[in-house]
Amino acid sequence: MKGGEELTLRLEERAEKLERLKEILQEDERILIAFSGGLDSSFLAMVAAEVLGDGALLVTLDSEAIPRRELLEAEKIARSLGLRHRIVGSRILESEDIAKNPPDRCAFCKKEDARVLKRIAKEEGIGRVADGVNLSDYADFRPGIRSSDEEGLIHPLAEAGLTKPDIRTLAKEMGHPFWDKPSMACLASRIPYGERITPEKLRMVEEAEEFLMGRGFRTVRVRVSGRSARIEVEKTDLEKILGMREEVAKELRRIGFSYVSLDLEGYRTGSSNEVL
């Protein structure tokens, strides 16, 4: 098959997946979307706004593990889509199953999230609760997906056959500015399994990552172990951050870290799962 034919086939496949997504969303007049403001939930909300209008309700769960930057971004995107948006407080660290940070922590967290979302949906008279899980998510260790399934949440993006690259490409083609938004997992994912999650550790991670993003690093993770910080940036940014090592070390020590290191392998999704 020639290059032009392959491109045409990919375009047709993405268009078919998009139409399938619209069909799934139109199966009911109303839907509640678990909305983080990330690429996946934003794309889902964008399509829901097109096919359901006011029938789509976005709900963002605001916990200790959600960066303030991401919360503000979620509000901004929801306004741009013209959809109703509710922000609901959630204190996840009150659950010992979550705070003690076992490898299946996300399963407990997603189960708690699902119960809150289902309660809101019931109050609003909405029968379906959806999240932004896509096909690519199944390639990583995601125990939270199982909990969401058990609680009856649906995954329209995955059901439509959409992968992360599909979503990013479609969002770009449709002219939405969030198409190149970097992936962002909750702050709890920066703490190694088995090490207790505390508000202080989450604060330190958020401050450190906010500092680095303010210095021009779009994709950054500050992994924590005790008082040690291990920084991950894109491989193309390794030289840049090494040139700022004194400034970075000084600021992270001010935040509360005793030791600061740089991961020479660079940023990679789910690096915390490499020990499993």
Whether residues 88 and 47 share a domain: the answer is: yes
Query: Is residue 274 over pLDDT 80?
Result: no
Whether residues 194 and 111 share a domain: the answer is: no
Q: According to the model, what pLDDT value does residue 66 have?
A: 95
Whether residues 67 and 149 share a domain: the answer is: yes
Q: How confident is the model at residue 229 (pLDDT cuts 50, 70, 90)?
A: very high
CATH number at residue 265: 3.30.70
pLDDT tens-digit series, residues 55-114:
999 999 999 999 999 999 999 999 999 999 999 999 999 999 999 999 999 999 999 999
**Do the beta carbons of residue 262 and residue 242 sit within 8 Å?**
yes
**Would you call 174 helix, strand, or coil by DSSP?**
coil
Q: Name the least confident of 52-56, 140-144, 167-171, 217-221.
A: 140-144
**In which region does residue 101 sit, left (phi positive, over 0), alpha (psi from -120 to 50) or beta (all else)?**
left
pLDDT tens-digit series, residues 161-216:
999 999 999 999 999 888 998 888 899 999 999 999 999 999 999 999 999 999 99
Whether residues 158 and 228 share a domain: the answer is: no
Whether residues 135 and 8 share a domain: the answer is: yes
Whether residues 118 and 86 share a domain: the answer is: yes
Number of domains in the chain: 2
Whether residues 176 and 198 share a domain: the answer is: no
Q: What is the largest CA-CA distance in the chain?
A: 58
Whether residues 163 and 218 share a domain: the answer is: no
Whether residues 133 and 53 share a domain: the answer is: yes
- The CA–CA distances, whole Å, from 251 to 48, 165, 202 equal 42, 35, 16
CA dihedral over 254, 260, 265, 270, signed as positive or negative:
negative
Comparing CA positions, the residue from 93, 97, 90 lying closest to residue 115 is 90
Query: Is residue 269 over pLDDT 80?
Result: no
Whether residues 240 and 267 share a domain: the answer is: yes
Give the residue numbers spanning the domain of 239.
187-275
3-state secondary structure 209-253: HHHHHHCCCCCEEEEEECCEEEEEECHHHHHHHHCCHHHHHHHHH
- In the listed set 154, 180, 206, which residue is the last one of a domain according to the structure? 180
Whether residues 107 and 19 share a domain: the answer is: yes
